[in-house]
Amino acid sequence: MQSNHHLSNFVLMAQDDAFYMDRCLHLARQGCGHVAPNPMVGAVLVHEGRIIGEGFHANYGDVHAEVACFRQVSPENTHLIPTSTLYVSLEPCCHKGKTPPCTDLILQSGVKKVMVATADPFPSVKGGGIRLLRKAGVEVEVGLLEKKAMDINCRFFSFYENNRPYTILKWAQTSNHLIGGLESRRWHISNSLSQRLVHQWRSEEQAILVGFRTAYEDNPALTNRLVPGKNPLRMVIDPRNELPKGLQMFNDGLPTIVFNTYFEQLDGLVKKIKYEPKEVLVCINKYSLQHQIQSILVEGGLRTLELFLENNHWDEIRTITAGHSPDLPGIPAPDISYLQPIETFYLDEDRIDIYRR
């Protein structure tokens, strides 16, 4: 939720522009899991080295970061707005969507200088906000901390620049790189802290996807019940339409999308989507683009993970490697030994590795 603290007495000594833009990015991240399919955006208003207002886009449909920022300026500081610099992590919008254009507000405020981290790839903006402000005489600088700004909105950028959802592959594996048991045995590989982290990851993505075998053998809920936040839209690949109706994902009052090769059907909250043989990824992309699904967390099983890997259809991989291995025969995890993680951390004895393309 938006912070309610008052900034009228919040004084900072003069800092460089990167400091204030980094503050924008910090604020923007607070919208993670709440604003999709909108991007995460933060804004900071600075007058002579003092932050007099700041805000972020907190929830989808709520006011944008710039509006929240201007609203937080105290009455005694409103006269300072025209001589302040506005820092914003993404190009201000110039079209009317659920809220009025932020460029209108900026022009009405009298602000003469705007620092923008990165342009907006959304077709209705795409440089239009920057051009409009400049045409009106506002000094606009673009590119400060651009890579960091694009990284926090990697889902948004992937969706509009690559025409597909940002795709994260995730699996847990034993210390000897086994992904699960044979003969329908279900293992609890990761510890409770890691399991909670996975639920946090789920809350940050718009959809979660598994294959037939995982759905059939594990009967997972695929929710983020261990943490607060919105549950992701469940997706399952069921080529022959064989999953039993008694699975909990079909009976818990939450929506599920089933991709199959037989027919299309809507049965309550279960929607079946038909795809042509060998075209399941094309179908998933098409459905995601049509319904503004900008990110998918793929949680298995092995054949489904390999489908995405073999087609080079992924943006991020997250693996959880347990400190101890169960003494059971298992299935080898996907081989990604040719990749190097960009981040590694531990939760007790579990090691989490993050890979990016």
Q: What are phi and psi of 49, to 5 degrees?
A: 80, 10
CA separation, residue 311 to residues 77, 163, 181, 315, 346 (Å): 55, 16, 26, 12, 30
List C-alpha distances in Å: 204 to 31, 99, 225, 304, 333.
Answer: 10, 23, 13, 21, 25
Q: Taken in order 286, 122, 66, 107, is the CA torsion positive or negative?
A: negative
Q: Which amino acid is at 280?
A: V
Catalytic residues: 66
- Which stretches within the chain are classed as H helix? 17-28, 65-71, 102-109, 128-135, 146-152, 154-161, 192-204, 212-218, 280-290, 302-310
Helix axes 280-290, 302-310, angle to 10 degrees: 80
Compute CA distances 324 → 79, 188, 218, 316, whole Å: 62, 11, 22, 25
